[in-house]
């Protein structure tokens, strides 16, 4: 969508700017009017934040030093990472627990017998769900890596992550941090066919501490604070793997390592330049009980678009119910609810008891639909957008809203945006979004500049 094709009026919910003219000068002339200050609809009244999703992952291998440094150079306010735990109990920056899709491990295995031998080939086992096994709750069984309930170390044989089967892949928890740094290189992941490949496999994997150090060094050089936005990824899986690898002494060695990371960087304060995010409330709640004072964000996932009415789907007839339909800890506990409940006023109030914000999927903030609906319609056919009220309700509950994930490829944009990613950002900025997770930092910054100019022109 070009500037001559504005977003739907339903999205333009900007408050009127109160511009007061200055009084006349002492000589009867008019004083120069000061430039109006933009009045943002964010929770704190400040400009929305651009969060570099896994660094500048649209152009560089994600979660590498280059990706983070390039994102900061492009104007990112925060740099985001996913945290997993290595075999020797360090927190490493990587999106998935399996390594073949965002590293060059398959190529390395062809010439390195040690790496090749680490592939996990043992199948998982099916476990019956504890809630009523009805179609509206999803599959009646989920896959588990605990193939021998009497032997905790048996989880080190299959590669099943929160019900997701990755038999025949390599687990991040089978390698030390040094091995990950020296043996493997990072690659692009999402939309990989559309993204540059020049640096794939050439940049080492890095630790969570490295990301903090990059933010500090680049922030100092730029004269501004760069915050870190770190996710406890697949916390149940990471804890079980860590216990089997003899990391720590308690039941949550993964979160205990996060606490240690906060303390050693003097980040365990409400105003520290860090957010700790998770899709699983149990992880955030444990961190709070363990003494975390840093800001926390409850991520909210979903599975499907319903282009007939703009709603989001959660329950599927396959493993995606367990992966993205509900927090995995809820499946284990026999709780059949889905992420949908987190978006209700009661759900938001519950989140406020242990977190400072929410991180919803984009269509949970703005409903995408095709009107009139036609069979087979997809994202490219979306012609109607509607504010779901989630931002306003979250703000009412005192929660910031950071939505994911903004990508610039045409295949990732609703048809109403006419292939213009800036227009997508503007739709969310106009609603008062507090921050956006983006693979393309420069586009998020450019759109924010356009939004600010738009506000000043009012």
Q: Express the helix, strand and coil content of the chain in percent, nearest 5 each.
A: 35, 20, 45
Q: Tell me how far apart the alpha carbons of residues 452 and 436 are, in angstroms, rounded to a whole number.
A: 15
Long-range contacts of 137-145 (CB under 8 A, 24+ apart): 137/315, 137/321, 137/336, 138/315, 138/316, 138/317, 138/321, 138/322, 138/325, 139/317, 139/318, 139/319, 139/321, 139/322, 142/319, 142/322, 142/331, 143/319, 145/237, 145/240
In the chain, pLDDT over 70 holds for what percent of residues?
92
Count Cβ atoms below 10 Å from residue 218 Cβ, excluding itself.
Answer: 18
Phi, psi values for residue 399, rounded to 5°: -110, 135
User: What's residue 34's pLDDT?
Assistant: 66
**Count of alpha carbons within 13 angstroms of residue 133, beta-carbon side:** 8
Q: Compute the distance between CA of residue 135 and CA of residue 232 in angstroms, rounded to an integer.
A: 30
Using CB atoms within 10 Å of the CB of residue 441, give its burial: 0 to 12 exposed, 13 to 18 middle, 19+ buried.
buried
Which whole number is the average pLDDT over 83-103? 98
Tokens representing 39 are 């009045």
Summarize pLDDT for 387-416 with one digit per residue, the tens.
999 999 999 999 999 999 999 999 999 999
The rounded distance, in Å, linking the Cα atoms of 405 and 393 is 21
Q: What is the pLDDT of residues 261-295, one digit of tens each?
A: 999 999 999 999 999 999 999 999 999 999 999 99
Per-residue pLDDT reduced to its tens digit, 142-193: 999 999 999 999 999 999 999 999 999 999 999 999 999 999 999 999 999 9
Of the pLDDT bands very low, low, confident and very high (cuts 50, 70, 90), residue 203 is: very high
The pLDDT of residue 27 is above 70: no
Portion of the chain with pLDDT greater than 90, in percent: 91
Interval 289-309: pLDDT, tens: 999 999 999 999 999 999 999
- SS3 state at 61: coil
Average pLDDT, the chain: 93
pTM over 0.85: yes
Beta-strand pair 357-360/400-406: parallel
Binning pLDDT at 50, 70 and 90, where does residue 38 land? confident
């Amino acid at each position: 969508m070009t500037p001559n094709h504005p977003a739907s009026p339903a999205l333009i919910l900007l408050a009127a700017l109160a511009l007061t003219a200055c009084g006349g000068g002492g000589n009867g002339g008019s004083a120069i009017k000061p430039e109006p200050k933009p009045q943002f609809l964010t929770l704190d009244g400040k400009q929305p934040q651009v969060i570099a999703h896994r660094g500048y992952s649209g152009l560089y291998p994600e979660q590498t030093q280059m990706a983070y440094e390039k994102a900061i150079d492009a104007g990112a306010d925060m740099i985001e990472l996913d945290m997993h735990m290595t075999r020797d109990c360090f927190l490493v920056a990587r999106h998935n627990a399996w390594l073949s899709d965002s590293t060059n491990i398959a190529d390395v295995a062809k010439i390195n017998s040690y790496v090749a031998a680490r592939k996990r080939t043992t199948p998982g086992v099916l476990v019956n769900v504890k809630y009523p096994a009805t179609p509206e709750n999803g599959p009646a069984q989920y896959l588990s890596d605990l193939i021998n309930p009497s032997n905790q170390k048996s989880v080190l044989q299959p590669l099943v992550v929160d019900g997701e089967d990755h038999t025949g892949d390599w687990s991040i928890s089978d390698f030390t941090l040094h091995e990950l740094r020296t043996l493997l290189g990072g690659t692009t992941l999402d939309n990989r066919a559309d993204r540059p490949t020049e640096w794939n496999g050439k940049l080492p994997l890095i630790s969570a501490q490295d990301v903090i150090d990059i933010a500090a060094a680049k922030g100092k050089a730029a004269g501004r604070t760069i915050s870190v936005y770190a996710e406890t990824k697949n916390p149940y899986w990471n804890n079980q793997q860590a216990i089997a690898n003899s990391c720590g002494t308690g039941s949550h060695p993964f979160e205990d390592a996060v606490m240690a990371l906060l303390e050693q960087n003097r980040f365990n304060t409400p105003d520290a330049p860090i957010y700790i995010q998770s899709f699983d409330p149990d992880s955030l709640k444990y961190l709070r009980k363990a003494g975390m004072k840093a800001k926390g964000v409850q991520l909210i996932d979903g599975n499907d678009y319903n282009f007939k009415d703009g709603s989001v789907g959660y329950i599927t007839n396959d493993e995606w119910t367990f992966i993205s339909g509900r927090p995995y800890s809820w499946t284990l506990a026999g709780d059949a609810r889905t992420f949908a409940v987190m978006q209700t006023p009661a759900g938001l109030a519950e989140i406020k008891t242990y977190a400072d914000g929410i991180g919803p999927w984009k269509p949970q903030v703005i409903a995408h639909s095709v009107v009139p609906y036609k069979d087979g319609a997809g994202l490219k056919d979306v012609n109607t957008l509607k504010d779901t009220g989630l931002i306003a309700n979250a703000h009412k509950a005192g929660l910031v809203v950071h939505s994911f994930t903004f990508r610039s490829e045409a295949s990732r944009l609703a048809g109403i945006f006419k292939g213009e990613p800036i227009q997508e950002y503007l739709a969310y900025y106009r609603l008062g979004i507090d921050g956006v997770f983006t693979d393309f930092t420069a586009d998020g910054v450019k759109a924010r500049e356009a939004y600010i100019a738009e506000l000043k022109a009012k």
